[in-house]
Amino acid sequence: MIIMKSLSILVAMLFISSFGLAQNLKTAINTDDSKIALHGYSPVSYLDLGIAQKGLKEYQVTHNGIKYYFTSMEQKKSFEANPEKYLPEYGGYCAFGVSVGAKFRIDPNKFVAKDGKYYLFLYDLEVDAQQLWLAGNHEELVTKADTNWKKLRTK
């Protein structure tokens, strides 16, 4: 059973990487060309509301050179009071990708919020990384991703 699960994860990793979905490996934070994180989605919505919500440009904060958008002034103030609480795990890269040693782009609507953190995932017609994550053991995948992120964040 463990061998099959590991084999499935390996096959998924090879499948994902074969489509060239890795983003800029020199970036520790997943942003677009304008340095906007999370495709403009609000980091506060993921944690406080448990939903993905597109933020508005008029409610933006620049934190460590990265722009974050929010849906309201209240969300903006929550972030400003404690930005570290609201930053995505693994710099906003796909958590499943990081667990297998790679940085992949994300679909901001695919996420898991658990234990005061949120994890984002790749989704396209070929791969739903969120489902791969949910099919695995959350704690084991987090441990692998945490270990890999120490190396990936500086590449």
Over residues 33-87, the pLDDT tens digits come to 999 999 999 999 999 999 999 999 999 999 999 999 999 999 999 999 999 999 9
112 and 147: one domain?
yes
98 and 155: one domain?
yes
Residue with tokens 């234990």: 115
- Distances, alpha carbon 119 to alpha carbons 73, 94, 122, in Å: 24, 7, 10
111 and 66: one domain?
no
Number of structural domains found in the chain: 2
42 and 100: one domain?
no
Please give the Cα distance from 64 to 66 (Å, whole number). Answer: 6
Beta carbons of 122 and 110 less than 8 angstroms apart: yes
**This model's pTM is above 0.85:** no
- Tell me what the mean pLDDT of segment 100-124 comes to: 96
Residue 112 has pLDDT above 70, yes or no: yes
Question: Which structural domain range is residue 37 located in?
Answer: 31-87
Please, what is the average pLDDT of the chain? 87
